[in-house]
Amino acid sequence: MKRLALTLAAAAAALLSGCVVVPAHRVGYVAEPGIVVDAPPPAPYAEVVPVMPYPGAVWINGYWGWSGGRHYWVPGYYERPRPGYRYEPHRWENQGGRWHLRIGGWIRM
């Protein structure tokens, strides 16, 4: 009986280790204070979009973030659609030779 309980606990731990929690995104474009840089972002990274995990899932493209004085790739992911909203992606804008990261999110239609 004890062996069965240990086996079930190990199986549950293995299954839960595959769970991913993605933080909620803000709605609309937001100018992030401090995410203004002189270096333009690299060319978009060609991601391989995985198989849709459930019908109607929305693929959110990855983007170039900024940390530690350099750009880094933030991978894309699937999210549940939100009725009455559309997703605006993260983007970099050149303003006077400086690059501003605009955070994307769900926009009410």
11 Cβ partners below 8 Å, 6+ apart?
A: none
The reported pLDDT for the residue numbered 21 is 37
Is residue 14, in this structure, part of any structural domain at all?
Answer: no
The reported pLDDT for the residue numbered 19 is 39
The reported pLDDT for the residue numbered 44 is 85
The reported pLDDT for the residue numbered 29 is 42
The reported pLDDT for the residue numbered 60 is 96
Is residue 27, in this structure, part of any structural domain at all?
Answer: yes
The reported pLDDT for the residue numbered 9 is 53
Give the mean pLDDT per block of 10 residues along the chain (109 residues): 57 45 40 76 92 96 94 96 95 94 93
Q: Give the count of domains, the chain.
A: 1
The reported pLDDT for the residue numbered 33 is 55
Q: What is the pTM of this model?
A: 0.65
Domain that holds residue 48: 23-108
What's the CA dihedral at 65, 67, 70, 75 to 10 degrees? Answer: -30
Is residue 85, in this structure, part of any structural domain at all?
Answer: yes
Question: Which of these, 76, 89, 92, 88, lies nearest to 31 by C-alpha position?
Answer: 92
Is residue 71, in this structure, part of any structural domain at all?
Answer: yes
The reported pLDDT for the residue numbered 45 is 84
Cβ distance 35 to 101 under 8 Å? yes
